[in-house]
Chains A and B, each alone.
Chain A
């Protein structure tokens, strides 16, 4: 079976004189799979995501999505950015609307597009605040609008770049549950960058652990064999959850300790 999203032998260097940031990253991802990429900050997680998004060009190797090579950004690989990246001069609805108009400008009528925008805002429970500007809503709400905007593009892969990193713990948990629910409902393929071990174990089918840079690569891949739907409350005592969590922790804090912390 060929992978739905095939990341093959990816390497990237920004400066010919400096060592490569990523080398030999090979990661086949199945359709509907939820993949987390975890690693210490600066290891090149976001770089990998940006290559898949098409925002960065790999020096070596390539990415093939659903039989087509990725060589530029596009709405089939919608990104939820770490800092939400909503346009501050547009309301939440207009932000989603801008993306929907771009992607479905030809295939959907004006009324269908308007309905689709509202449907996606309702999916992240932002329907009531749709007419507010990003400056008027909380960080968690902004991130929800960012997710709605990405989902509204009906992407083949949803790319999440540390989407909950800037949020407080309660908001983060709430949003994680929503993302799990949406993933269960829509069956979207997801690639998420994170540095939160619990988050990775809770959400993912597989956790990809990157070694420290420079010349970072995949150190280990852990399959999280937990049935869905998952509940954070029952998982806390689940031996599989605890074992998975311990495995990731061992990788991050024992074998591949952050060089900055070790020094």
Chain B
């Protein structure tokens, strides 16, 4: 009797152990594949750093070496949120100000852009009337809008937001219109057979079907917004990452500029991934084929 009980107990332990192994194994595998994926990047970064160091590590070099950047600007990296009053703020606060502008301008562009895209996508008349205008206006460089918006708004903040808006809106409009026009005939037939019409047809069929296109537009839009904000802020001054870079240039803090550029890149990357993620969530099930 005893031996039987002991037997089951040890078997249970064995099962528990094996399940632990089973649970740990994927984690270990994931960790390993993560390392394998990141290793080339790490090597590349080290190579770039070393080459950069060697190229600029001599007196009279135009650009600072990585070591010098660290020596000059490690405060910026270590304390992103300091605020010494006036314009002497940490990089985090500058980035935050820029992000606020982008958020506002981009949100407006998303709402108006999707609405206009739907209109152009559904109505042939609107398409003929508006599309040529869109096609011309979308080629205007973002900064070219700045003087005009400064003249209209007479203030820096709304002008910057308008530049973001007008930069981000075109890809949103155009992609939404394409998505709406490309609702497959199959889905339209289904809607006809079950007599789905008007706003219900729009929300149940057109919007979900166009979602992947819309999010492609939004993703391009957020990228352009981030490109435009840095340039716009250089001109309007005040607070923001663009202004920070310009200010650093005027005070010859080249090291600060390098640090700021790395931050700009990382934030832009995160914005892009964020919209892509939202798109994958919203457009789950559908895909552009």
Chain A residues close to B by CB (< 8 Å): 53-55, 72-75, 77-79, 81, 83, 85, 87-90, 98-99, 102-103, 133-135, 153
| Contact B194–A55 (Cβ < 8 Å) | no
Q: DSSP majority for the A interface?
A: loop
CB neighbours of B196 from chain A (8 A): 98, 102
Task: Name the residue among B192, B193, B205 with the largest chain A CB count within 10 angstroms.
Answer: B193
- Chain B stretch 166-190: residues in CB contact (< 8 A) with chain A: 186-187, 189-190
Q: Is B208 positioned at the interface, with any CB of A under 8 Å from its CB?
A: yes
Q: How far is the CA of A75 from the CA of B189 in the complex (A)?
A: 12
CB neighbours of A53 from chain B (8 A): 193
CB neighbours of B190 from chain A (8 A): 81, 85, 87
- Chain B stretch 76-92: residues in CB contact (< 8 A) with chain A: none
Give me 8 other A-B pairs in contact (C-beta within 8 A), A55-B189, A74-B193, A81-B190 excluded.
Answer: A73-B192, A73-B195, A74-B195, A75-B193, A78-B193, A88-B287, A89-B211, A89-B284
Q: Is B204 positioned at the interface, with any CB of A under 8 Å from its CB?
A: yes
| Contact B208–A73 (Cβ < 8 Å) | no
**Across the A-B interface, the 5 shortest Cβ-Cβ residue pairs:** A89-B285, A85-B186, A73-B192, A102-B194, A89-B208
Task: Name the residue among B284, B285, B287 with the largest chain A CB count within 10 angstroms.
Answer: B285
- Chain B stretch 190-237: residues in CB contact (< 8 A) with chain A: 190, 192-196, 204-205, 208-209, 211
| Contact B285–A77 (Cβ < 8 Å) | no
Q: DSSP majority for the B interface?
A: helix
- A132 vs chain B, min Cβ distance (A): 11
Given the contacts A133-B285, A135-B285, A87 and B208 also touching, CB distance less than 8 Å: yes
Q: How far is the CA of A88 from the CA of B204 in the complex (A)?
A: 12
| Contact B186–A81 (Cβ < 8 Å) | yes
Given the contacts A83-B186, A90-B285, A77 and B193 also touching, CB distance less than 8 Å: yes
CB neighbours of A72 from chain B (8 A): 192
Task: Name the residue among A78, A98, A133 with the largest chain B CB count within 10 angstroms.
Answer: A98
Q: How far is the CA of A131 from the CA of B128 in the complex (A)?
A: 43
- A94 vs chain B, min Cβ distance (A): 10
The number of chain B residues with a CB under 8 A from chain A is 19
Q: Is B33 positioned at the interface, with any CB of A under 8 Å from its CB?
A: no
| Contact B189–A79 (Cβ < 8 Å) | yes
| Contact A55–B187 (Cβ < 8 Å) | no
| Contact B193–A73 (Cβ < 8 Å) | yes
Chain B residues close to A by CB (< 8 Å): 186-187, 189-190, 192-196, 204-205, 208-209, 211, 283-287
| Contact A98–B194 (Cβ < 8 Å) | yes
| Contact B286–A79 (Cβ < 8 Å) | no
CB closest residue in chain B, given A53: B193
Q: Please, could you name 21 A-B residue pairs with CB atoms under 8 Å apart, sorted by A?
A: A53-B193, A55-B189, A55-B192, A55-B193, A72-B192, A73-B192, A73-B195, A75-B194, A75-B195, A79-B193, A87-B187, A87-B190, A87-B205, A88-B286, A89-B211, A89-B283, A89-B285, A98-B204, A99-B194, A102-B194, A153-B194
CB neighbours of A134 from chain B (8 A): 285
- B214 vs chain A, min Cβ distance (A): 13
Task: Name the residue among A78, A88, A103 with the largest chain B CB count within 10 angstroms.
Answer: A88
CB neighbours of A135 from chain B (8 A): 285
CB neighbours of A54 from chain B (8 A): 192
Q: How far is the CA of A72 from the CA of B194 in the complex (A)?
A: 11
CB closest residue in chain A, given B189: A55
CB neighbours of A88 from chain B (8 A): 285-287
CB neighbours of B187 from chain A (8 A): 85, 87
Q: How far is the CA of A81 from the CA of B194 in the complex (A)?
A: 13
CB closest residue in chain B, given A103: B194
Q: How far is the CA of A138 from the CA of B199 in the complex (A)?
A: 32
CB neighbours of B194 from chain A (8 A): 75, 98-99, 102-103, 153
CB neighbours of B285 from chain A (8 A): 88-90, 133-135
| Contact A81–B195 (Cβ < 8 Å) | no
CB neighbours of B286 from chain A (8 A): 88-89
Q: How far is the CA of A255 from the CA of B95 in the complex (A)?
A: 78
CB closest residue in chain A, given B208: A89
Q: How far is the CA of A204 from the CA of B187 in the complex (A)?
A: 29
- A13 vs chain B, min Cβ distance (A): 20
Q: How far is the CA of A54 from the CA of B194 in the complex (A)?
A: 12
Q: How far is the CA of A99 from the CA of B196 in the complex (A)?
A: 9
| Contact A102–B195 (Cβ < 8 Å) | yes
- B194 vs chain A, min Cβ distance (A): 4
Task: Name the residue among B194, B205, B284 with the largest chain A CB count within 10 angstroms.
Answer: B194
CB neighbours of B208 from chain A (8 A): 87, 89
Q: How far is the CA of A135 from the CA of B287 in the complex (A)?
A: 10
Q: How far is the CA of A73 from the CA of B185 in the complex (A)?
A: 14
CB neighbours of B284 from chain A (8 A): 89
Q: How far is the CA of A90 from the CA of B208 in the complex (A)?
A: 9
Q: How far is the CA of A81 from the CA of B192 in the complex (A)?
A: 13
Q: How far is the CA of A90 from the CA of B207 in the complex (A)?
A: 13
| Contact A81–B205 (Cβ < 8 Å) | no
| Contact A81–B204 (Cβ < 8 Å) | no
